[in-house]
Structure 1
């Protein structure tokens, strides 16, 4: 029986890891800007930065919520196949298509593939038991990072050592996407989902943690609890769209009333927005500092190092001797300021090696903090609300990014050059640091004030508990 249970976990996990590795093995990605601006596509910097790249941000934002609902309604597997198909279409267009409009359409398909990540990271929870959640999540997340790092390293080695043309790196990325396309077809179909399709007698599980989290447990709302305990909770009903939307909205209000969760979610949305912008436009900045048609570039090594150091930083989170309940906001303040400094160095120093080093430190710091934020939020939530909160946080990050892109990047807005953009992004992270400095100082001051009040009230309470001297004498 135990062997059958292990096999039921091993099979889908292995297929997901194969899919996650090959779908992220993209040797051409670190050189995308150089490829688009090179002889193969012959696009200008303004077209690439101000007219093509913003389409990914807009499409990701528009598609995220519909894909989120479709993933649950269709029980994951069809959306994974859609994601694999989108990646193939993206790389075929990158190889064959020409012109500005075609590249904008390519960015739309890549936005569709990115939005479909929710299916990859939530499918496994529908086919394995809750006891295996932590282990299989670790496998799936680590394999995607390893795929990204391996793709960047392979691309750089082939480009620098073997002197392969960038077009051939696109062919290798297309081949990897084609291998990834095969895996989802063999995945077992999920019989249940988080919102639309409930398994009979399903009980909401809370993640178990050996350490105490800073967040209070967010209670299930009473309407949802009564539904589960009623007759409909004992059969596998499918809910309608209106019921699901109403339940999601009720849960949204319930979750974000929790102040610590709100604080970590605020940082998540703000920092992820800025991180997306830096990653999206870093190659354009490097191309300005060290043009690929005049010098050898090392973007692949930089991406590989940033991924590996980011993964190491994420692993070290569990060993940091920080009381996040007390010092969380101030740590976010200090490290957000460090990220701001990294961006300013990238923008102002104009030295490619300093730029590369600052980018690596920036991404490693972000991955460390986003891991802390993920744990601090997830430790207090059941799996259903885990999906909701992280979906809302990602949506808010994309909404902020879209606004920033429209104003700063898009040619329909200011259409600023890349150096001015990075100066604004540095100021953006400085503002995040200031927000959490104020929040952290306020929390420390509030705790100190409450301790002083407790100490001040203690003598009075002791005095009132003991009888007056005269009364004690009379009783004697």
Structure 2
């Protein structure tokens, strides 16, 4: 009891611990690796073609429609309500999977899950609005670890129950429903943030703009100021948050952050890779179970999807963790690394498309996902080290929106039954070709950057030093 009281009194440990607990339960979705066998099996009896060319595109279109409004609402409502919404929709997601029959209910499921994925930004950005800046790095590491631990534990437990205990997929979904219900309950324990990144009010926004222009952190208010602000809010009601003046200042701050976020070619190139590669990654992640079922049908053979996903999480996390311990000048060699590892990912995608061995396909997926997790870690660090937290949050949202727009375009042309409606093997050949274009672009760009550095190393050293100064000031 005393330890819990001490935890609650901590300015950063309590919200971090509760959010980690939420992240663990929300990602411990043991039924997720077995979604396709469940949908096309006797429980739902939906054909693989309908799932591929009709159901999954609905999720993509809905996700695109929800993403930008949810991003603005996350900041406007100060994160916690959106995390609670995510927890609630996770619960309804598995209620639909367990108890709702027929194709119309699965269409509702896709829209429901689009709300879950679009509110992911609330989980990823909540912690920065409730803890001091000096704890950002530790808290971020804990949150990522909680997500990884939850996903790995869920996938592993699901595989054990399916392979060793012979548990039916319905009961796997029912157990998952109980686990995600815990995440919804935990979300009520989160403290409500006292500030937003953009909807701060006129005076606070002016302070934020000045701190952005001067390259310094926004000053932290003391407890008296926080109490005064809270009293003022209670006195004025919610009108201040919804006023046209507050919306206008938030819009101005968003525009200033946008200009800073894409203020240099260096940032634009890293953001370009982020958007292009993420679009391809999400598409492959969504449809890989259909490829596995095509190579070795789940109705007539053993399924090891959960074990493969758990292995991907562990290998990918190890690759991402290694980034912080490898001494590489990413300003010089980073873009070339993007090209080289994207080429490796290209080969892995073509392997998945062309092999007839399920184990070769599993191995290709592990290689592909590990490459992506490694490179997205490098990219996020390079972008974050140049930007304030407001700008990084906006950049995250914009890059994700661009990636989802590209993914929607790919889905519309390649997958949707209203257009080409291609089979799963042809789709993966196209995805491999897509990644091949990315790798060629960044191999050319990375080679050029490395050659320029060889001829003019002083320019890169100056650039690297300026980045280090900005990173030190803002984080």
Which residue in 2 is equivalent to 1:89? 92
1:171 maps to 2:163: no
Quick check: 2:201–2:249 contact (8 Å CA) kept in 1?
no
> Which of the residues 127, 137, 140 maps onto 1:134?
137
> Which of the residues 192, 210, 220 maps onto 2:212?
220
1:274 maps to 2:291: no
- The two structures have a TM-score, normalised by structure 1, of 0.86
C-alpha distance in structure 2 between counterparts of 1:415 and 1:440, whole Å:
36
Which residue in 1 is equivalent to 2:70? 67
Which residue in 2 is equivalent to 1:350? 356
C-alpha distance in structure 2 between counterparts of 1:78 and 1:321, whole Å:
41
Which residue in 1 is equivalent to 2:392? 386
Deviations 1:5-38 (A, max 9, x none): 9623222222111111111111110010010000
C-alpha distance in structure 1 between counterparts of 2:421 and 2:129, whole Å:
44
Deviations 1:225-279 (A, max 9, x none): 9x99xxxx99967563233233313321332121111111111001111110111
C-alpha distance in structure 2 between counterparts of 1:352 and 1:70, whole Å:
43
> Which of the residues 414, 421, 424 maps onto 1:418?
424
1:49 positional shift: 0.7
**Alpha-carbon spacing, 1:18–1:5, altered in 2? closer, same or farther (3 Å):** closer
**Alpha-carbon spacing, 1:389–1:28, altered in 2? closer, same or farther (3 Å):** same
Quick check: 1:314–1:368 contact (8 Å CA) kept in 2?
yes
Which residue in 2 is equivalent to 1:107? 110
Matches within 5 A, 1:377-456: 377-448=383-454, 450=456
Quick check: 1:75–1:192 contact (8 Å CA) kept in 2?
yes
Deviations 1:374-419 (A, max 9, x none): 1010011111111001111111110000000000011112100000
1:78 maps to 2:81: yes
Which residue in 2 is equivalent to 1:260? 266
Matches within 5 A, 1:261-410: 261-410=267-416
> Helix, strand or coil: the match of 1:220?
helix
C-alpha distance in structure 2 between counterparts of 1:441 and 1:41, whole Å:
51
C-alpha distance in structure 2 between counterparts of 1:199 and 1:353, whole Å:
58
1:98 positional shift: 2.0
**Alpha-carbon spacing, 1:199–1:163, altered in 2? closer, same or farther (3 Å):** farther
1:449 positional shift: 5.0
**Which structure has the larger Rg?**
1
> Which of the residues 257, 279, 282 maps onto 1:251?
257
**RMSD (CA atoms):** 2.6
1:444 positional shift: 3.1
> Helix, strand or coil: the match of 1:406?
helix
**Alpha-carbon spacing, 1:204–1:319, altered in 2? closer, same or farther (3 Å):** farther
Deviations 1:30-52 (A, max 9, x none): 01001000000000111111111
C-alpha distance in structure 2 between counterparts of 1:121 and 1:200, whole Å:
26
Which residue in 1 is equivalent to 2:21? 18
Deviations 1:118-145 (A, max 9, x none): 1111111222111111111111111011
C-alpha distance in structure 2 between counterparts of 1:251 and 1:55, whole Å:
32
> Helix, strand or coil: the match of 1:145?
helix
C-alpha distance in structure 1 between counterparts of 2:339 and 2:455, whole Å:
22
> Helix, strand or coil: the match of 1:350?
coil
Between Structure 1 and Structure 2, how many residues are aligned?
Answer: 433
Where in structure 2 are there 5+ consecutive unaligned residues?
1-5, 220-224, 230-239, 460-475
Which residue in 2 is equivalent to 1:460? none
Deviations 1:93-133 (A, max 9, x none): 11111222221210111110111111111111222111111
C-alpha distance in structure 2 between counterparts of 1:394 and 1:70, whole Å:
16
Quick check: 1:191–1:199 contact (8 Å CA) kept in 2?
no
C-alpha distance in structure 1 between counterparts of 2:386 and 2:253, whole Å:
19
Quick check: 1:326–1:444 contact (8 Å CA) kept in 2?
yes
**Alpha-carbon spacing, 1:370–1:451, altered in 2? closer, same or farther (3 Å):** closer
Where in structure 1 are there 5+ consecutive unaligned residues?
206-218, 454-476
Deviations 1:197-216 (A, max 9, x none): 369868659xxxxxxxxxxx
